[in-house]
Amino acid sequence: MRVAVAYDVRMRTHRFFATTFKGLEDVLAGEIASLGGEDVSAGPGSVAFSGDMALCYRANLWLRSANRVVLLLSEFPAPTPAALYEGTREIPWPDLFPPERTIAVDATVRDSGITHSHFAAQKTKDGIVDRFRDAVGRRPDVDAKTPEVRIVVRIVRDECAVSLDTSGESLNRRGYRAIPSEASLKETLAAGLLLLAGWQGGEPLIDPACGAGTIPIEAALIAGNVAPGSLGRSFGFQRLHGFDRKRWEAMLSEAREALLHPIHVRIEGSDISPGAVAGAMKNAINAKVNERVLFNARSIRNFDPGEGPGTILCNPPYGTRLPGGTQVETFYRELGEALKKRCRGWTAFLLSGNPAATKFLGLKSSRKFPVMNGPIDCRLLKYDLY
């Protein structure tokens, strides 16, 4: 069997994949290239690149639109369960992490002889623990919910790629959201939308339907040159053999020195719900950007940012009814009136998951960027407000 073990502890250059939302691949590729990534190539929902482990640390620390960064370990054909087991067992797992670490395997299969992802994950786990037993006489335990080490397996048309998740928790978990499970825009998507819109912190940014405040908070992090991974969370690479603590602490120190003070750019968020605004303010405090962002409770019919130039970016509701019984049609009509009458000189970007609703704006978009918001096929619509 042909097994290509891509990772070796003696190698200086490794192959990585950073995942993102479909539609943000070029944004992420630009971020990775700016950090020094080599052989950068974008694919559906991910960007491949090469570099050393220091680049891996830096990517987890600085990437704004990436959800995960995984380290490619091996590629091999896996048309059968036996081939998957043998290919996985060939990887030098004890060189990567100690048996005391808990593990979980995330597997996906498509167009392959192995048809069930759960079964693929089980066979991969068997290969890992058997390699540990043979090498050190002990095996790691499985923790499906909060593993210390996560292994990622992808089998497409019988070709298997086994990778190690260097991020741990998804990178959208910056650590500032007071209620992490709340159903609002993910931090990485919010940051990606800002970058896709071309906003880099040099002009005002307003979100008139801010919800948890994610877009204004991510804007403040961009404007202040704050590394999104520097807010106190941990990463998967910290639990691997060879973790260079001194280098990591030096990167954190460099990130602190790179902060831009003071921040003069106007960044605001508003929402009709006082509870949402209170939650957004709490999130901004947690992100240490509360002095850079202004939040207020305001109906969309009263939205008036004054004359531009500046950027309006929001993720309005997609459904048929808002909390409190307000029809989405009414919301979009009022938003359209505000944009047309009180936003001269601004450029507006709306993430739309409901084309029928955006018709009530009464505006014609100048550009449409396809973006997936989880399973929802969306468009980031651009409106030039003359």
The yes-or-no verdict on residue 202 having pLDDT over 80 is yes
The Cα diameter of the chain in Å comes to 73
pLDDT band at 182 (very low <50, low <70, confident <90, very high): low
Q: What pLDDT was estimated at residue 9?
A: 56
- Token pair belonging to 360: 């009530």
Query: Quick one: which H or E segment has residue 282?
Result: helix 274-286
Distance CA 65, CA 269 (A): 21
The yes-or-no verdict on residue 326 having pLDDT over 80 is no
Residue 128 · residue 88 · CB < 8 Å: yes
Q: Number of H helices and number of E strands within the chain?
A: 10, 15
Pairing of strands 205-207, 310-314: parallel
Helix (H, G, I), strand (E, B) or coil at 71: strand
Distance CA 146, CA 126 (A): 19
pLDDT band at 180 (very low <50, low <70, confident <90, very high): low
Helix (H, G, I), strand (E, B) or coil at 254: helix
The yes-or-no verdict on residue 1 having pLDDT over 50 is no
- The label of the residue with tokens 């030039």 reads 384
The pLDDT tens digits for 286-309 are 999 999 999 999 999 999 999 889
The pLDDT tens digits for 46-101 are 999 999 999 999 999 999 999 999 999 999 999 999 999 999 999 999 999 999 99
Domains in the chain, start-ordered, CATH in brackets? Answer: 4-165 (3.30.2130.30), 187-228+245-384 (3.40.50.150)
Q: Counting beta carbons within 10 angstroms of the beta carbon of residue 28, is it exposed (0 to 12), middle (13 to 18) or buried (19 or more)?
A: buried
Angle among Cα 274, 230, 283 to the nearest 5 degrees reads 5
- The label of the residue with tokens 């978009």 reads 365
pLDDT band at 280 (very low <50, low <70, confident <90, very high): very high
- Token pair belonging to 187: 């931090």
Cα–Cα distances (Å) from 340 to 97, 289, 324, 349, 356, in that order, read 58, 31, 26, 14, 19
- Token pair belonging to 151: 């292994």
Distance CA 319, CA 353 (A): 9
Cα dihedral sign, 154-159-160-163: negative
The pLDDT tens digits for 210-252 are 999 999 999 999 999 999 999 999 999 999 999 999 999 999 9
Query: Quick one: which H or E segment has residue 355?
Result: helix 355-358
